Amino acid sequence: MSQFLITESFVRKLLETVDAGLMVSDGVPKPGKLCVEAAIYYALSEPHSKGSGCVDPIVRRGLGRLNDALWSSKQARAKGLRKVAIAQLGSKDTINITNFLALFAEYTIREVVPVALRAAGALNSHHTKELEAHAEQCEREGSRDVADAAARAAYDARIAAYSTHATHASGDAAYVAFSAARAATYAACAATYIYHEGYANRVITDSVSAAYAAADAAAAAVSRVTSPEADHVFSLCANLMVRALQKCGSPGCEWLWLVDQTEVTA
């Protein structure tokens, strides 16, 4: 069991540090210049190199990837990650990481993959209905099989869009449709990859990275540059992570009431 003791004063200090804004990577030991994990060390008054004894390393790696995604600003990153920053506390040696990954994969298929599928469908009228049907099936079932089927449908849309693009100038609507369909394919395959039994002997952190890859792809589908729409996808991914941590009994989740109490609205 983790020996880390979570206190209200620590949670408040961590939230204040996060709310100053979050940067990509470690940054420097100063509020507004830190990534989400470095904020923990700062709140604990510990050097980053010491390492944290309170967060499961797989959770930490996955959240680090989400921190480094193309958020529109450091304030947007902080707002999107403040809840999961607290929920992950105490997760080391207390949660069943296999259960966490399975839940996170299911949630990703149900809620992230459909975002990419619908974005692709909106830009490719010949495949809109089919991709919408697959998006709805992903929402209903959240299984590997439906994600596999969605990936195949998105791939077909990609090929069709690419074929159209071949006879048009670069940057036209067909190319945008191709880009969105490719992102949707990647999102579905990334989520499916988590369940793939053939990778059982691979490093387990590859699984959580695949879920974040799905979020990256979905964000790319809704926006080809950093934007509030992409921020929404990254925030969705963070919230799915919170839900999985709650289901697995991560101790930090007991302090989410304080996160809600101090919610940043700006």
pLDDT at 224: 58
* Contact of 14 with 39, CB cutoff 8 Å: yes
Whether residue 229 is found in the same domain as residue 188: yes
Measured CA to CA, the distance from residue 243 to residue 190 in angstroms comes to 20
Q: Nearest Cα to 216, choosing from 112, 94, 140, 119?
A: 112
Domain annotation covers residue 67: no
Considering its fold, how many domains does the chain have in total? 2
Predicted confidence (pLDDT) per residue in 192-219, tens digit: 766 554 443 343 445 566 677 777 778 7
Predicted confidence (pLDDT) per residue in 149-177, tens digit: 998 898 888 888 777 665 543 335 666 66
Count of residues for the chain? 266
pLDDT at 58: 85
Whether residue 175 is found in the same domain as residue 260: no
Reported pTM: 0.86
Domain annotation covers residue 221: yes
Whether residue 91 is found in the same domain as residue 116: no
pLDDT at 220: 78
Whether residue 105 is found in the same domain as residue 200: yes
Domain annotation covers residue 13: yes
Domain annotation covers residue 261: yes
Domain annotation covers residue 263: yes
pLDDT at 229: 82
pLDDT at 162: 72
pLDDT at 202: 44
Q: Which residue has the higher pLDDT, 242 or 165?
A: 242
**Full DSSP string of 206-250:** HHHHHHHHHHHHHHHHH-SSS-HHHHHHHHHHHHHHHHHHHHTT-
Domain annotation covers residue 43: yes
Mean predicted lDDT score pLDDT of the chain: 81
How much of the chain exceeds pLDDT 70, in percent? Answer: 78
Would the pLDDT of 250 be above 70? yes
Whether residue 226 is found in the same domain as residue 256: no
Q: What residue numbers bound the domain in which 115 lies?
A: 96-248
pLDDT at 248: 97
Question: Of the spans 60-64, 126-130, 227-231, 244-248, which averages the highest pLDDT?
Answer: 244-248
Q: Which residue has the higher pLDDT, 136 or 185?
A: 136
* Contact of 74 with 22, CB cutoff 8 Å: yes
Measured CA to CA, the distance from residue 70 to residue 67 in angstroms comes to 8
Predicted confidence (pLDDT) per residue in 117-141, tens digit: 888 888 788 889 999 999 999 999 9
